[in-house]
């Protein structure tokens, strides 16, 4: 049913684009024949809209990975730097939430740890929608922010780091076996507001996979049983993602033209002061409107990174201070 829905969407999109292209061309022809500048302008605007949609659909053809159509987990963690980096982590969490909402995806907060003064130490989002993992998988890595700190009374420029980790939700087609003897399970009280029940019971669950060191946590539900089930699903998804990364690293070793975009590598810089620029350090894609990017305008960066994954070719770009 999932494959059928995806195919129907693709075929329907092509038919719709063909119809919109024909309508726009007809409108322009009528406008030129009657000397109606407004109709011509309307037709040209419709053509630009068709062109943008066609370009996006072309990029979507790159989403051919085994797990690309799946829902995805997205984790954000603050780096060293205390309040400054924790505030940056929350800005990233909001950015991805806004991007997901703009594309009609549903966002659930699975885990959340508040910062000491502001922001967050970490958060895990579950983003549901077709190709959610395919689009977001290129966002894994370290993100750097340069700005005048709102927490510095001397108004000095600060550099902050936060990491993003994206891994797919696995479905019944993918069988991942985990030995419980390899795991340590801890329960604790959920943080934040949630009523008397949440604040007085150890409903949150944390699972540590000892052989790999992978840690997952869930405090989304009031029930410890439900949180435990979600945490196990997250662990299986992380182990599956680890295997995908191993395969990708092996492929990258065989194809030197492709860049390493694994965990721990800085992928993008966001400069708010003294000038405004967002630059992707893998593809060279950049934007002079950080406010739009932080409000969820991430498609140009994702599309360029996807194209680079498929076609190869590392960007020759300099880091920005």
Q: What is the CATH number of the domain that holds 269?
A: 3.30.70.1660
List, as one string, the DSSP characters of 38-81.
HHHHHHHHHHHHHHHHHHHHHHHTT--STTTTS-EEEEEEE-SS
Q: Number of folded domains in the chain?
A: 3
* 250 has pLDDT over 80: no
Residues 149 and 85 in one domain: yes
pLDDT in tens, 93-125: 999 999 999 999 999 999 889 988 889 999 999
CA atoms of 285 and 313, how far apart (whole Å) = 13
Amino acid 261: pLDDT: 32
Residues 85 and 51 in one domain: no
Amino acid 164: pLDDT: 94
In a domain, 66, yes or no: no
Residues 194 and 157 in one domain: no
In a domain, 15, yes or no: yes
The four Cα atoms 275, 276, 278, 279 give a dihedral, to 10 degrees, of -30
Amino acid 255: pLDDT: 39
Give whichever of 48-57, 91-100, 143-152 has the largest mean pLDDT. 91-100
In a domain, 316, yes or no: no
Residues 269 and 154 in one domain: yes
**Using 50, 70 and 90 to split pLDDT, how confident is the model at 265?**
low
In a domain, 303, yes or no: yes
Residues 263 and 156 in one domain: yes
Of all residues in the chain, what percent carry a pLDDT higher than 90? 46
In a domain, 266, yes or no: yes
* CATH classification of the domain holding 187: 3.30.160.20
Domain edge (last residue) among 212, 234, 252: 252
Amino acid 90: pLDDT: 95
Amino acid 193: pLDDT: 53
CA atoms of 271 and 126, how far apart (whole Å) = 28
Domain edge (last residue) among 60, 87, 104: 60
pLDDT in tens, 310-320: 666 544 444 44
CA neighbours closer than 13 Å in the CB half-sphere of residue 73: 24
In a domain, 137, yes or no: yes
Residues 84 and 21 in one domain: no
**Using 50, 70 and 90 to split pLDDT, how confident is the model at 192?**
low
**Full-model pTM:** 0.70
Residues 52 and 77 in one domain: no
Residues 77 and 163 in one domain: yes
CA atoms of 105 and 130, how far apart (whole Å) = 8
**Using 50, 70 and 90 to split pLDDT, how confident is the model at 43?**
very high
User: Of the given ranges (120-129, 239-248, 268-277), which has the lowest mean pLDDT?
Assistant: 239-248
Residue 192 Rama label (left phi>0; alpha psi -120 to 50; beta): left
CA atoms of 164 and 182, how far apart (whole Å) = 26
Domain edge (last residue) among 252, 275, 295: 252
Give whichever of 103-107, 197-201, 247-251, 257-261 has the largest mean pLDDT. 103-107
Mean pLDDT of 195-206: 67
Residues 8 and 143 in one domain: no
* 262 has pLDDT over 50: no
Residues 115 and 185 in one domain: no
Q: How confident is the prediction for the chain on average, in pLDDT?
A: 84
Residues 286 and 143 in one domain: yes
Helix (H) or strand (E) holding 208: strand 204-209
* Boundaries of domain holding 123: 72-168+258-311
Amino acid 307: pLDDT: 83
Amino acid 100: pLDDT: 96
Amino acid 318: pLDDT: 46
In a domain, 130, yes or no: yes
Residues 125 and 88 in one domain: yes
In a domain, 247, yes or no: yes
């Amino acid at each position: 049913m999932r494959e059928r829905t995806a195919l129907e969407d693709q075929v329907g999109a092509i038919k719709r684009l063909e119809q919109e292209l024909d309508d726009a061309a007809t409108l322009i022809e009528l406008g030129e024949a009657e000397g109606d500048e407004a109709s011509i302008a309307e037709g040209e605007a419709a053509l630009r809209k068709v062109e943008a949609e066609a370009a996006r659909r072309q990029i979507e053809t790159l989403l051919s990975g085994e797990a690309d159509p799946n829902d995805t987990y997205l984790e954000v963690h603050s780096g060293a730097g205390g309040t400054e980096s924790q505030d940056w982590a929350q800005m990233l969490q909001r950015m991805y939430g806004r991007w997901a909402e703009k594309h009609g995806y549903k966002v659930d907060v699975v885990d959340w740890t508040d910062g000491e003064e502001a922001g967050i130490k970490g958060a895990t989002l579950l983003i549901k929608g077709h190709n959610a993992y395919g689009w977001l998988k290129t966002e894994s890595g370290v993100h750097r922010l340069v700005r005048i700190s709102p927490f510095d009374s001397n108004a000095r420029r600060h550099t902050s780091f936060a990491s993003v980790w994206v891994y797919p939700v696995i479905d019944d087609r993918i069988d991942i076996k985990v030995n419980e003897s390899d795991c340590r399970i801890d329960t604790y009280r959920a943080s934040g507001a949630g009523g008397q029940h949440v604040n007085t019971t150890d409903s949150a669950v944390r699972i540590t996979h000892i052989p790999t060191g992978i840690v997952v946590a869930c405090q989304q539900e009031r029930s410890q049983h439900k949180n435990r089930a979600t945490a196990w699903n997250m662990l299986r998804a992380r182990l599956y993602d680890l295997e995908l990364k191993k395969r990708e690293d092996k492929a990258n070793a065989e194809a030197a033209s492709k860049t390493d975009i694994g965990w721990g590598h800085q992928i993008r810089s966001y400069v708010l002061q003294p000038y405004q620029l967002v630059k992707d350090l893998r593809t060279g894609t950049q934007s002079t409107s950080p406010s739009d990017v932080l409000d969820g305008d991430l498609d140009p960066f994702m599309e360029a990174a996807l194209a680079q994954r498929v076609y190869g070719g590392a960007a020759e770009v300099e880091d920005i201070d």
